Homo-oligomer: A and B are copies of this chain.
């Protein structure tokens, strides 16, 4: 009997149409086991994700899942339907993490195509999707837009009508939700005395420390999120690729850079929104990640809680105190890995 094709070929550009719903497979229950692994893989020390006692005192229902961890899980589910044939992950926008995700919660992912545009080469197109994560009670825990460049199955297929979604450059501070009360916040236990009022727009923070990433580490992390994009796992298959080796999932870079940002932003561990993000250059095993941040904006969320809008820049094999970013030509400097714009909650001074 001949072989059959029951494996998932993924979607090509022609398969995406405006408004098309994508119900993604393999909902995932997150547990204390996931929390321990995420910490061990990223070096996370933000106190509300480290101490159940601290978290409860600060208004969380218990020791929560780091929202960035949950983001990778929600994202991972969308890969087989959105980006299996993607050439590039182009960007993120309008990400909102609106509910705490707790151990025992089961996350399910649903996407909708909100934009399509064929590229002028006729071989690829850009697809925009809004991806939503839901818990087992059907509550939306997060929502974000991403866009990817996807191969066409057949270059001769006609181009669809271009629809480019109108996306906010920034989630407005006034629309941030899902933060904890932070009524009680022991700055000794959290690791830093610097609160909301201590940060000023324009300030740049050197996170100093470096973290080298091994093949085993990024593979274990990426499988933890059930992200199965081949380029991260198949060294044999990658031999003939552009880089000749496995590429590290960009989410690994975001998480390690965020963990490094503890050193300077220890109280700003709670990510509320993702405004924008670019994976500027690829990371490979053996490279060392460093990070720096810039305060872009501030917002008062309550009497006790503020928010910092931060640019998190990850760089490779270089002193982050040089604050490498873009040159005068607007191009990213050598060694910049990640340009990530997000909001984080941080307690206010009493």
Q: Chain A residues in contact with chain B, CB under 8 A?
A: 1-8, 23, 25-29, 31-37, 39-43, 45, 47, 50-54, 63, 80, 104, 106, 108, 136, 188-192, 194, 198, 200-212, 214-217, 219-221, 223-224, 226, 228, 230, 233-237, 246, 263-266, 286-288, 292, 317-318, 321, 323
**Chain B residue with Cβ nearest A1:** B202
The 25 sampled A-B contact pairs (Cβ below 8 Å) are: A3-B206, A4-B203, A4-B204, A8-B263, A25-B191, A26-B189, A27-B51, A28-B51, A32-B32, A32-B33, A36-B37, A37-B40, A40-B223, A40-B224, A51-B106, A209-B233, A209-B234, A210-B230, A210-B233, A210-B235, A210-B237, A212-B236, A215-B216, A216-B217, A236-B287
Interfacial chain B residues near A288, Cβ < 8 Å: 234-237
Cα–Cα, bound, A209→B238 (Å): 12
Interfacial chain B residues near A237, Cβ < 8 Å: 210, 288
A6-B205, A53-B136, A233-B209 given; A189·B36 CB < 8 A: no
Number of copies of this chain that the complex holds: 3
Say yes or no: B33 contacts A36, CB within 8 Å.
yes
- Of B50, B210, B224, the residue contacting A26 (CB under 8 A) is B50
Interfacial chain B residues near A233, Cβ < 8 Å: 43, 209-212
**Chain B residue with Cβ nearest A295:** B1
Sorted nearest first, the 6 A-B pairs with minimum C-beta distance are A33-B36, A25-B191, A1-B202, A216-B216, A236-B288, A210-B234
Interfacial chain B residues near A200, Cβ < 8 Å: 1
Say yes or no: A53 contacts B29, CB within 8 Å.
yes
Say yes or no: A323 contacts B3, CB within 8 Å.
yes
Interfacial chain B residues near A50, Cβ < 8 Å: 26-29, 226
- Of B205, B215, B224, B236, the residue contacting A39 (CB under 8 A) is B224
Say yes or no: A43 contacts B223, CB within 8 Å.
yes
Interfacial chain B residues near A26, Cβ < 8 Å: 45, 47, 50-51, 189-191
**Chain B residue with Cβ nearest A23:** B188
Cα–Cα, bound, A29→B36 (Å): 10
Cα–Cα, bound, A3→B223 (Å): 37
Say yes or no: A192 contacts B6, CB within 8 Å.
yes
Interfacial chain B residues near A6, Cβ < 8 Å: 192, 194, 198, 205, 264-265
Interfacial chain B residues near A7, Cβ < 8 Å: 205-208, 263-264
Say yes or no: A223 contacts B42, CB within 8 Å.
yes
- Of B43, B52, B228, B318, the residue contacting A106 (CB under 8 A) is B52
